[in-house]
Amino acid sequence: MSPESGDDRVPDTGPGTEPDGRAPGAAGRPLSEIAGDDFIALVTTPSKDSYALGIANDSYRWYVTASKRSRRSHRITDVSAVLISASIPVAAVIVPDIPTIPAVLGAVLVVIAGVRAIYHWPENYLRFSRAREAVEEQRRLYHVSAPPYDDPATRDEELVKAVTRIEQAEMGQWAQVADAHTPRKPVSSE
């Protein structure tokens, strides 16, 4: 069936396809069955040769992946910390003659807290999500030729500038988070 007749299958040829004519990871499959990275690759593949759109799409994909990874790591360490915290007094009551078990659980809890403090997963998740949505806003404006993307002569340049500003702002926020957690040497007064 053709798209005009209501078929929602991914086309097997056209822009954004693999060299053999298949859409990346999705050719011939109904759109409703495409998920995850296959869907992201499909909807972010430029429909024409546009370096600027490629930059925006690559940035968007990076932020999607990075935010998911940070969210997952944050959730895993949070749940692990709660479970281990709850198991320390339980272990002390169940096996009072073996103080090593609660001690080891406590040590694991300290390691989890340290890793969380080093990697800043909650902050990263929020930063990456904000940047992802900011890039997505620019991609949408670009696709509909809304200002500042309404001039064909400058639209690609404007998109690259916008994505670069977003990435630089996110990097600046990362530097602030890292700087806030860096121990300072005391200033001596002589």
**10, pLDDT greater than 60:** no
Query: Cis ω on the peptide bond leading into residue 3 (within 30° of 0)?
Result: no
16/92 same-domain check: no
| Residue 97 identity | D
Which pLDDT value is given to residue 45? 58
15/54 same-domain check: no
Contacts 24+ apart (CB under 8 A), 152-156: 155/52, 156/50, 156/51, 156/52, 156/53
Who has greater pLDDT, 125 or 181?
A: 125
Which pLDDT value is given to residue 51? 93
CA-based torsion, 27, 29, 31, 37: positive or negative: negative
86/99 same-domain check: yes
40/59 same-domain check: no
17/68 same-domain check: no
Domain total in the chain: 2
| CA–CA gap between residue 39 and residue 171 (Å, rounded) | 27
35/96 same-domain check: no
Domain that includes residue 87, residue range: 50-180
Who has greater pLDDT, 27 or 122?
A: 122
Is 167 contained in some domain?
A: yes
Is 189 contained in some domain?
A: no
Express each pLDDT in 80-130 by its tens digit.
999 999 999 999 999 999 999 999 999 999 999 999 999 999 999 999 999
Which pLDDT value is given to residue 48? 53
Residue that is written with structure tokens 């040769």 in the block: 49
Which pLDDT value is given to residue 57? 96
Is 2 contained in some domain?
A: no
| 111: number of Cβ within 10 Å | 11
59/135 same-domain check: yes
φ, ψ for residue 47, nearest 5 deg: -85, -10
CA-based torsion, 108, 111, 115, 117: positive or negative: positive
27/99 same-domain check: no
Is 74 contained in some domain?
A: yes
Percent of the chain with pLDDT over 70: 71
Which pLDDT value is given to residue 176? 82
Who has greater pLDDT, 28 or 187?
A: 187
66/155 same-domain check: yes
* Helix (H) or strand (E) run with residue 151 in it: none
3-state secondary structure of 30: strand
36/84 same-domain check: no
Q: How confident is the model at residue 182 (pLDDT cuts 50, 70, 90)?
A: confident
Is 187 contained in some domain?
A: no
Which pLDDT value is given to residue 42? 61
82/108 same-domain check: yes
Is 138 contained in some domain?
A: yes
Is 188 contained in some domain?
A: no
Which pLDDT value is given to residue 127? 96
φ, ψ for residue 13, nearest 5 deg: -140, 165
Express each pLDDT in 147-179 by its tens digit.
999 999 999 999 999 999 999 999 998 888 777
Q: Angle formed by the axes of helices 155-180 and 121-143, to 10°?
A: 170
Residue that is written with structure tokens 């690259």 in the block: 160
Which pLDDT value is given to residue 129? 97
**78, pLDDT greater than 50:** yes
Q: Which tokens sit at 21? A: 């004519």
78/41 same-domain check: no
